[in-house]
Structure 1
Amino acid sequence: MKIGILQTGHTPDALMQDFGDYDSLFPALLDGHGFEFKTFAVVDGIFPDSAEDADGWLITGSRYGAYEDLPWIPPLEDLIRQIHKSEKPLVGVCFGHQIIAQALGGKVEKYQGGWSVGRTEYDFDGDNVWLNAWHQDQVVAVPDGAEVIGSNDFCQNAMLRYGDQIWTVQAHPEFSNDFVSGLMRTRGKGLVPDDLMQAAANRQTAPDHNARIAQIMADFLKKARA
């Protein structure tokens, strides 16, 4: 199964050698599930010809806001609507979660409550999971047809499912604890309050549920559809 990665951001230069770019984090996360991947760096203006260029799609995280006036965001929203119409499976992570919601009629904004950073607990379909977060923006209005399947007190719309076609998550199952520590070191200073980063640093040695979410994502992408 060919998965098209719609890359909407880049790893900080200081972390690139150790971790690779954003698009390389997902083949690592989904390794062993039989996928073939092709990246389209939409953040750099590189788009597929159509929704038919892959069997399924995945949208990465980004340092940008879905609501920003950037030249690549409107065509990305158009592509999301094309993918939705094509009924091909689509997964979105962080910015991907947000831009899909926005493209389909939801609302994204910079959350007045501030940042969520590091290992964070979510109620996922009645169970508790721990994933790494790195965001201030949130989906504050859910599109018609989307079901909230994961949340916490800080982020009410943390995971969404749109029927059996689209599955999105605000947190970053592709981010290891070491990667988040690197983000705090390279992007966090002056952006995220010091007390939040210190609290996150104190949690970063505990285990996460990245592998569990990877299995859910893989099963969703490969699910038989009419």
Structure 2
Amino acid sequence: MVAVVEAAARPTSGRYALLMAAHDSEYVLKRYGGYLQVFVAAFGGAGEAWDLYRAVDGELPAPEDLGGYDGFVISGSPHDAYADDLWILRLCLLVRELHAMRKRLLGVCFGHQVICRALGGRVGRAPGGWDVGIREVAIADAARPPCRFLDALRERHQLPPRAKITEVHQDEVWEVPDGAEVLASSDKTGVEMFRVGEHVLGIQGHPEYTKDILLSLVDRLLTAGSITVSFAEAVKRQLEATAPDREFWLKLCKSFLKVDEDHVCI
């Protein structure tokens, strides 16, 4: 059954679908009630309804329901976006369908990578290994052709040339799809953000993560043997010294998801 979160008695300003590519961690379930709540707290607004589809378990919206959504978000995942698991291949097909419908689609981390793959780009393991912690990315000076959701932030003087974001990934986009535009990059990752037209946006980092969620993930990666003790300690020291520009990234994601022909809602 699809989980639903409504910010009011009934949706009055939009309906969105979260396509979860991971299972809720024990920590997030206990602290937040699940990742759906994390995403709604980050990207949601008054009067909206958010539906949860557990894509990792093969659950996707029915074709006849796609038109009823104003936007879709694909989450991060411990899985590889270039793998050929059936649920990943089905998710790729859905991405292509949403793209053809010009539905607004935001991908975060794994979501960013799987959108790239689905639309003809290339993704794979990052040669530099794990990127975990806070990374500063450089944002493109000007999108061409003009990009309404970025221009709305620029007009409000809310589009900085550089911004810090939370990262937890060992895969990356190698090559964006034809027709895509790279909007941000860092010294670690060449494609930190890209768009296809006005309706597809991929972000390698995690705008939705809070500091405590990142710390929980660092501990899980350490326990699993994915990172070393010294690596984990370095990340924790960094988190004591700096923080992501989370407010900016949340405004950017909301600007993208909620832009319409007349205004941008942020």
**Normalising by the residue count of structure 2, what TM-score does the alignment of the two structures yield?**
0.80
Q: Determine if contact 2:140/2:183 at 8 Å carries over to the other structure.
A: yes
| 1:22 is aligned to 2:35 | yes
| Aligned with 2:84 (options 46, 52, 69) | 69
Cross-structure match for 2:258: 222
Q: How far off its partner does 1:53 sit?
A: 4.2
Q: Give a deviation string over 1:138-175, Cα, whole Å, max 9, x none.
A: 01111111111111111000101111111110000111
Alpha carbons of 1:90 and 1:186: their partners in 2 closer, same or farther (altered >3 Å)? same
Q: How far off its partner does 1:70 sit?
A: 1.4
- Aligned partners of 2:110, 2:254: CA distance in 1, in Å? 19
- Aligned partners of 2:188, 2:51: CA distance in 1, in Å? 34
Cross-structure match for 1:191: 226
Q: How far off its partner does 1:46 sit?
A: 0.9
Unaligned residue ranges in structure 2 (runs of 5+): 1-13, 142-160
- Aligned partners of 1:114, 1:33: CA distance in 2, in Å? 40
Q: Determine if contact 1:42/1:72 at 8 Å carries over to the other structure.
A: yes
**Normalising by the residue count of structure 1, what TM-score does the alignment of the two structures yield?**
0.94
Q: Give a deviation string over 1:49-83, Cα, whole Å, max 9, x none.
A: 12324221110011100112312011100000000
Cross-structure match for 2:246: 210
Cross-structure match for 1:175: 209
Secondary structure at the counterpart of residue 38 of structure 1:
strand
| Aligned with 1:120 (options 135, 147, 150) | 135
1:132 partner letter: T
- Aligned partners of 1:58, 1:33: CA distance in 2, in Å? 18
| Aligned with 1:87 (options 85, 102, 109) | 102
| Aligned with 1:143 (options 156, 165, 177) | 177
1:163 partner letter: G
Alpha carbons of 1:225 and 1:98: their partners in 2 closer, same or farther (altered >3 Å)? farther
Unaligned residue ranges in structure 1 (runs of 5+): none
- Tell me which structure has the larger Cα radius of gyration: 2
- Aligned partners of 2:46, 2:229: CA distance in 1, in Å? 39
Q: Determine if contact 1:19/1:179 at 8 Å carries over to the other structure.
A: no
Alpha carbons of 1:119 and 1:81: their partners in 2 closer, same or farther (altered >3 Å)? same
Q: Determine if contact 1:9/1:22 at 8 Å carries over to the other structure.
A: no
Aligned residues: 226
| 1:56 is aligned to 2:90 | no
Cross-structure match for 1:43: 56
- Aligned partners of 1:198, 1:125: CA distance in 2, in Å? 32
| Aligned with 1:10 (options 14, 20, 23) | 23
Deviation >6 Å, runs of 4+: none
Choose 5-14 or 70-79, whichever is displaced more. Answer: 5-14
- Aligned partners of 2:197, 2:26: CA distance in 1, in Å? 38
Alpha carbons of 1:33 and 1:195: their partners in 2 closer, same or farther (altered >3 Å)? farther
Q: Determine if contact 2:126/2:172 at 8 Å carries over to the other structure.
A: yes
Cross-structure match for 2:188: 154
Work out the percentage of aligned pairs sharing the same amino acid. Answer: 33
